[in-house]
Chain A
């Protein structure tokens, strides 16, 4: 006899019968009856009226029967709270049972009975069970605390269960530790600010030890918890990573993904140049590939996560594109995800293979998949310029198949290709026009209309084509209507003679017969433009369009960073932050990637938005500075200027060296290659990224900046203003950004500068604080101005004056450094003038002068050893004469020009000014 019979009893009066059976004298009969009740409960029948009878069966030695009764209790206790009290005694008694399995069962079940009165009775047994001698009971009790917290959080705190739970983190049994961690993690999610888990290095160490020993599930709990920890420095981050990496070989893909999450987060803290950083990156790729050999559901989760990882760190998987090729029997959801990743990894190196694959996919049966494959071909054309031609011909082949949805999808992507490569592939328009009739989707219709309008002058019957769309104007979707309106206006501007009638027709359709305000507005604008000033109309309507970007549908960087913190979880599957799909208190607490504290601040210190600074910087008259008080360079105190500043230099030291070392390998043609730095990272400025440099060209100073919009909305109304600075540097014109900056668009601007602004000593001296405003907010950043942009063209000193000044200055220090031979010409191009040259003891000596914008003269001697063109050891006693103020300062000024790293001069010269007053020799600083 089998249990399936319980599912079949389906007669009326069943409840009555069950009631009788439950009260049967024979134990076996009662057990049968309870089974029937559970079966009925499972299929959704209401058997709550049997509550007292079922509870009566609870007093039994038969564990199986007891478990069944408990199952019933958990389901119905809430609907019969008064009756549920009857069960309490039995629970309390079971918690004292000598058998640990029964103790655990009781405490486990009690936690699931969500009746206030019962929870009161639960506290004492739970307290005992948390300290039970048997680990099985303790691990069950740990979870029970989380259950109780869900019912009555206050009680858990009052009873001190949280402390007991914290104690369990140090338990000797790894499974108890894992469950305690899981419970604490869940509880702390509803108290985002309390440091419940108390993650300190000691506890982390305990967790890492338990990690090696507990079950696969326990490892997941611990890894997920570890990912919330912020190591205090890179060393700690590295040591945790080292102990987490073995998990990447676990057969359970959830363990692997959680380990990947920890590593991806802590990678942020590791220095990019370090060997370990690169080893770790290499270690991440094989396990991610292996995840794709799992079952399809896990593959899907893995692919959704890989999609994020590829966007965050493309280098990890860039060699592995082949594993994302679609297999014939992959489920459709795996196919679609693979396709997405293929496009992201497509590059010049692999484009031929990718295209061959995509072509294959475009002939499959699943409509969504085919469409996506066609779209992907277009994306490849836009992303990899070299492949554009092949992509276009592939798309044309596909259009020839005349499969309706393939054609429509192809036309949409071809529009984008036209946008990206204007005037290159127009020859195919004729082929496209053949398919005009088969287009029935708004996207495709709009794309086709756009193409016809854009290239109206090359299509003989453009007017007929557009006219054909006009017939059913009011039945079209808004998108098509708007595109059609614009296309006809374009056509009119290109061929005014033949199309006057047409344009009038469309304008009246749009303005008079339509009730869509957008359409009417656009119609009126065109109408007025055309009637008042056709030349301007032409300029507006036929203006050059901004290029479309290569990468579309990228996840916004701040969201991406948040999702990286949720690798493996539902958020990473949905690509949405948890608060978008989770109700209540859970998940509101947003996670962030850790920030590397020790290093990031140096190049780009984003100025905290302090009130006083705001006032200073933003009397937001961000127009061109007209009435800036003229401060003569004579007045600005050199003492003031040069006082102090050394302390900050020590902090900058490391930075300067690292920036140099990165440049070491670059062979540079120009003498000064200005170092481009990220001044304002996108995460700190709501998606706006500014990087740039200062330069001097034709006697003028410029601030060359690249603005990148990494947000999902457009940005406009840009303005810039400088804080007072040491050299009185101000912009001489407003920020030349006139068009809105579209998402993922980049714009380069060059801002002319002058040194006629107000002077204030900065620390360090060449620090410049900048405010940038746009329609979203005001952002602050600061950067270091390389000193050489202040070297003026008339820095050539009279030879006699030079000699006289030179003699006045005693030699103080010598510094050995190396210099490339043919430098003098290059030096001159940067306004460092060679005054004299002589040969002493087989060495060339160069004497140089230069002058800063504020009138400070700098004199230098370069010693060059001929016959050793690349590495010439030189000594360079250097003097400085601040002649304007009558003050002479002396110090060592090593012009260090290592092979191929001319920035040395730039950087050291910068630092030299800062340190000269203290007379500290440079070799101690570097």
Chain B
């Protein structure tokens, strides 16, 4: 298991050093500094073996977190733990910086004592930890006996991510469907590869221990329900709206066995911000933009480029922050651009024409044309045209995902599903969205 955990600043000075195992000596701290932080070459692997000791590291801004071990530990677990450690620190003092770490070193030692025991990760949900470890010193001595046992049962309990007795005057839920759509298209408009990776991010401000149920237009669920007795008409209608999810992963609050057997997503949510699920789809993706390139080589010293972009979504919706990057050859000497909408500029440092449009409604099209002057070169090698890439943000989910319901049940307190104010938002962003030309 994890033998020790060190935190360094960018210079390699130790800010935190906690050793859990006897086989890790003080020299391990220096070994990592010398061999990794001060190494001349760029780090080639997040796992380094120095004299039969293995070091795992992650970097957050200019802070190094390193876990050390001499055993055959579960490597994925160590990294997941380091990420979790970062989350916990962020939850306590927002930004991970040298200043913040020094200011909170007692707290960090206390946390490290709690979330790692003999190198075994223990409950590390900040929601639970905050009930008995605070920046203002330890609370527990002021707790009554009831409170104490409540803390311990929560830390060790099945719902370690939420504490009891949370109360809100207004029960509210915010649900964001955040998607990033990736595309690689051939010059002829053929989709070479496309996928959406999405996240469902929630903020919940709910009293008590609410039981939530989240439903979306997952094809498997919808098909199953239709199997139960809907007419074929219905299935044809809603069949279009359902989406096939390739794979999804859930926050630990979701009951996985229930998802596996019934494909229903039920959970008791953590309080505040969390990521409920991640998913990936590859079928029937709505591509918000189509890029149609036209490149013509006029002689050896001139290129004519025309690019048309078409927005392919409801006319009532507005896409934002649109940016098209048209690569230019290395020997470009000058560029003249004319565009119908937005602003376009040739950026010599990026070897690209950057065309920016603030807003664009659906079912519209716009175009840019450019004349590129080239310096004559004696290079035999032809310019391999890099793809045209695009960035944008649209107010819908390109995967077609729709939230069908998010029900809240809290049997002990007197509020019902109707009393909860729910907000749903869809944001689709471009991932790697490229068209070859």
Contacts and interface: CB of A to CB of B under 8 A. Distances in A.
B336 interface: no
B118 A111 contact: yes
Contacts of A112: 20, 118
Nearest to B431: A327
B246 A333 contact: no
A570 B83 CA distance: 18
Given A63-B138, A64-B138, A290-B247, A71 B104 contact: no
Given A43-B14, A44-B14, A300-B46, A249 B250 contact: yes
A220 B74 contact: yes
A146 B118 contact: yes
Given A2-B103, A143-B118, A252 B14 contact: no
A4 B156 contact: no
Interface string A740-754: 000000000000000
A250 B117 contact: no
Contact of A573 (B22, B23, B47, B104): B47
Interface string B66-109: 00011111111101111100000000000000010011111001
Contacts of A137: 152
Nearest to A213: B158
A574 B50 CA distance: 13
B256 A247 contact: yes
A143 B140 CA distance: 22
A246 B262 CA distance: 11
Interface stretch (A16-24, A171-179, A602-610, A707-715): A171-179
A247 B381 CA distance: 51
B252 A215 contact: yes
A256 B247 CA distance: 13
Interface in A556-580: 566, 568-574, 578
A296 B249 CA distance: 17
B120 A71 contact: no
A582 B156 contact: no
Contacts of B275: 251
Nearest to A5: B102
B141 A63 contact: yes
Contacts of B256: 212, 246-247, 249-250
B75 A301 contact: yes
B97 to A, nearest CB: 11
Interface stretch (B143-151, B214-222, B231-239): B143-151
Q: Which of B75, B80, B149, B251 has most A Cβ within 10 Å?
A: B75
B432 interface: yes
Interface in A139-183: 139-140, 143-144, 146-147, 150, 173-176, 179, 182
Contacts of B42: 332
Nearest to A182: B120
A64 B257 CA distance: 41
Interface string B92-136: 000000010011111001100100011011111100000010000
B85 to A, nearest CB: 12
Contacts of A327: 432
B280 interface: yes
B70 A249 contact: no
A293 B277 CA distance: 13
Given A286-B246, A289-B247, A581-B49, A42 B72 contact: no
A96 interface: no
B49 A249 contact: no
A134 B193 contact: no
B149 A569 contact: no
Contacts of A62: 141
B412 interface: no
A293 B156 contact: no
Contacts of A215: 122-125, 160, 252
B17 A42 contact: yes
Given A71-B113, A257-B76, A322 B247 contact: no
Interface in A335-386: 363, 368
Contact of A114 (B22, B120, B124, B278): B22
Contacts of B138: 63-64, 67
Nearest to A360: B384
A413 interface: no
A217 B120 contact: yes
A289 B280 contact: yes
A217 B122 contact: yes
Nearest to A174: B158
A134 B149 contact: yes
A481 B319 CA distance: 66
A3 B156 contact: no
A254 B45 CA distance: 18
A400 interface: yes
A304 to B, nearest CB: 8
Interface string A450-488: 000000000000000000000000000000000000000
Contacts of A301: 47, 75-76, 79
Interface residues of B, number: 93
Given A39-B105, A42-B16, A287-B247, A254 B76 contact: yes
Interface stretch (B52-60, B292-300, B304-312): B52-60
A249 B264 CA distance: 13
A867 interface: no
A251 B113 contact: no
Contact of B152 (A43, A134, A587): A134
Contacts of A293: 197, 278, 280
B153 interface: yes
Contacts of B246: 286, 289
B259 interface: yes
A173 B152 CA distance: 11
Contacts of A43: 13-14
Nearest to A290: B247
Contacts of B141: 61-63, 99
Q: Which of A38, A214, A217, A332 has most B Cβ within 10 Å?
A: A217
Interface in B270-288: 275, 277-278, 280
Given A174-B158, A250-B250, A290-B278, A300 B148 contact: no
Nearest to B76: A254
Nearest to B44: A333
A182 B122 CA distance: 11
B63 interface: no
B252 A216 contact: yes
B348 interface: no
A526 interface: no
Nearest to A251: B249
B26 interface: yes
Contact of A568 (B46, B75, B380): B75
B155 interface: yes
A332 B46 CA distance: 10
A136 B110 contact: no
B354 interface: no
Interface string A96-128: 001111101000100110100000000000000
A135 B123 CA distance: 13
25 contacts: A3-B103, A3-B105, A64-B138, A99-B141, A104-B152, A134-B153, A136-B151, A215-B160, A215-B252, A220-B77, A243-B257, A246-B256, A249-B247, A257-B74, A293-B197, A293-B278, A295-B58, A295-B83, A297-B79, A301-B79, A570-B47, A570-B71, A570-B72, A574-B47, A586-B71
Given A174-B158, A179-B120, A257-B76, 7 more contacts: A135-B157, A215-B122, A215-B252, A217-B81, A253-B79, A298-B76, A298-B79
Interface of A: 2-4, 6-7, 35, 38-39, 42-44, 61-64, 67-68, 71, 75, 98-102, 104, 108, 111-112, 114, 134-137, 139-140, 143-144, 146-147, 150, 173-176, 179, 182, 186, 212-217, 220-221, 224, 243, 245-247, 249-254, 256-258, 286-287, 289-290, 293, 295-298, 300-302, 322, 327-328, 332-333, 363, 368, 400-401, 566, 568-574, 578, 581-583, 586-587
Which 8 A-B pairs rank lowest in CB-CB distance, beginning with the nearest?
A286-B247, A4-B102, A136-B152, A246-B260, A254-B76, A254-B77, A578-B72, A246-B256
